Amino acid sequence: MKSVLVHQEKVVPAFEEIINSPINTRIVEIYKKGGDSVDIGTPILKLDLQSVETDYKKLLDEEQMRSYKLNQLRVNNQTKLNDLAMKIKVSAMQLNRKKWNCVMSSISTAWVRELRIKCVRRNSVIMWPSWNMSS
């Protein structure tokens, strides 16, 4: 809150203060001079805000582009995760099939050995098929 002195119906500031603008711009028009009466909210000068507005819009566009890129990265990452999950499932199925084949091969090999033993005991001759799994 600023202190003011009233002197002959003129508003005079108790002290002067320089206000630095947070934006880099230039003054286009000055509406009030030192010593003029003003009400709260009365404009005292006009700033050229075109370049500031342009910079602001540019920053908004950049932010939106970053947001789009971030969403695209999320989609890409989710797609990659889904692909990897599918590869894991396929690999697990392939591994299970190989385990099954290995078990079946072991069973077949054991069955063939048992059959050989029985044939040897009976003095039988066996014609082995071409798919014979040699042991």
The 10s digit of each residue's pLDDT in 13-45 is: 677 777 787 888 888 999 988 778 888 888 888
Could you give phi then psi for residue 67, rounded to 5 degrees? -65, -45
Number of C-alpha atoms within 13 angstroms, CB side, residue 14?
A: 5
User: What is the helix (H) or strand (E) element at residue 28, kind and residue range?
Assistant: strand 27-30
Convert the pLDDT of each residue in 68-127 to its tens digit: 999 999 999 999 999 999 999 999 999 999 988 887 777 777 777 777 777 776 765 555
Give the pTM. Answer: 0.48
